[in-house]
Amino acid sequence: MPVSDAILTQILSQLEALQVSQQTLQAKLDALTNPTGSPPLKPVLPVPGRDSPPQTLRHLTDQTGSPSSSVPNLSLLSSPSISSPLSQDRTSANEKERERNLYPSRVILTTYPDQHGIKPYPLQWGASDPKLRGPIICSRLPPSIKQRNAIGAHSGSYSIYRALAIALGTLSPTHKPSYALTEPPVPIPPQPAWSDPTKIVSFDPWGHLVPQIFHDEVEGKGLDVRPSIAVTKAHIKLSEVDESARKGTILIDGKVVLKSRPLVNADGSESDADPGVELSVSKAAVEPVWYLPGVAQRFNISEGLLRRALFEDTGGMYPELITRPDVKVFLPPIGNLTVYIFGNPAYMSDESKELTLRVHDECNGSDVFGSDICTCKPYLIFAIEECVRCAQRGGVGVVVYFRKEGRALGEVTKYLVYNLRKRGGDSADKYFKSTELIAGVKDMRFQALMPDVLHWLGITKVDNMISMSDMKYNAIVQSGIRILKRYDIPEHLIPPDSRVEIDAKIAAGYFTTGKQVTEADLVKTVGRTWEETEH
């Protein structure tokens, strides 16, 4: 006899209630049986090959019919059933012993707010005093796990490489970094926006000062607190800027633009060829640290919906997004951003100084390898040179480089779109439609979080913004930063094959100071076909 939806819903509700009841009872039992020790955090899964043999869970109950503390099928965690020399090697006694040494406790899937021993370090986002704000702690190491106040891991997507290094034995999970002599050589001092919980929600504004501010927490309390921002100085060398210097459109001033050292011939002798120039810059790398209530508010959605979407669409990677609503900070596994500053960094927060800005989203194919199907590299080089000229006029130039490859769709999707465009007729009228056919959207670079970095730098006014993007312009202006002038890339710098992209954007309403393009004109703009050149 089929079960009605109402009865099924009631059964599921009862099972959920039993789960919560069991978790509460387990926590109380832990407190009674281990009043001074460190009880295992529940729910847990036995580690295959060490704890009791796993049993297959059916739905939400075990074989006795009582509610299970963990939904996942434990049989999936057992060793491979097909034996081979490789699998036998990997499950050798030495390997099992190493696993026990690395992870002596049982598997902790998640924790709960009312669990015994759980006491997150207090965190007050937006507090003007960093000590009152509190450190960001996401570590699962024993000294920190019960006080962790953040979900996720440092280093964004690179946290996976750290995990692999630990598994291979090349990195100790308890390695304690030494931050001596790593403090910023360029001051990025506190700004009013740092103490406004609505202005910066996508990273930790105190992230570059962590070793100094939270020294007592790290050394005295043994907590694993790490920097999420690093600031340094560098010289950058670009062949395009070398050419501009030879033409005289970029001038050597000995401060921002420096003459490069002489080149060396193959035999080691000094070459008399022009060595070109290099640019003196300050730069900062920033890891994402999301304050979830602020991020949700920025997108005008509920925090609950944001958490559920992050949980579901990362394949359930972070269950504490659901089980720990009291933990408000999430370190997502995404790429970071880098800031390049040309000129005196102190001028960024001085409204009397001219400021030129380019917010650039990563394009590996063009920026690094020079692909001419888009204008990304010419735009970036043009912006760098404009920033240099602004600094030489007594102002400051800023380039912010976000890791949002392929309009945040990724390179695989981008290359699939390229194939579709070249096979289906690469005309400007099909430009956005091609992306939508594969990705479902034409652009996934939500710019609502982008202005955070400008507020961190103390920027309150932009004299020159180099961009066609209305999304970027609107996000900056709506965040309270004035933009006095905006301009796009000059016509003569646009590669012929990227004309399709530019004309499609202009017709779609992107900003331009050049020619106007209508929808009717788009069919006339056609890109190069593969067959035009030999491969």
**Could you list the active site residues?**
443, 445
Give me the helix-helix angle, 431-439 and 411-424, nearest 10°: 130
> CB–CB of 188/205 below 8 Å?
no
Question: In the numeric block, which tokens belong to residue 210?
Answer: 């962590």
CA distance 5 to 273: 81
What residues does 285 pair with on adjacent strands?
A: 230, 338
Report the C-alpha gap between 135 and 122 in whole angstroms. 8
In eight-state DSSP terms, residue 315 is T
* Partners of residue 427 on adjacent β-strands: 526
Given CA atoms 258, 264, 265, 270 in this order, what sign does their dihedral have? Answer: positive
- C-alpha span between 239 and 242 (Å, rounded): 5
**Beta-carbon contacts of residue 40 (< 8 Å; ≥ 6 apart):** 30, 105, 106, 108
Distance CA 115, CA 133 (A): 24
The Cα 251–Cα 253 span in angstroms is 6
What are the structure tokens assigned to 489, written together? 């890339």
d(CA 118, CA 196): 29
Q: What is the 3-state secondary structure (H, E, C) of 57-114?
A: CECCECCCCCECCCCCCHHHHCCCCCCCHHHHHHCCHHHHHHHHHHCCCCEECCCCCC
Q: Which residue has the tokens 């407190």?
A: 31
- The token pair that represents 323 in the structure block: 């089980």
Angle between helices 239-247 and 376-392 (to 10 degrees): 50
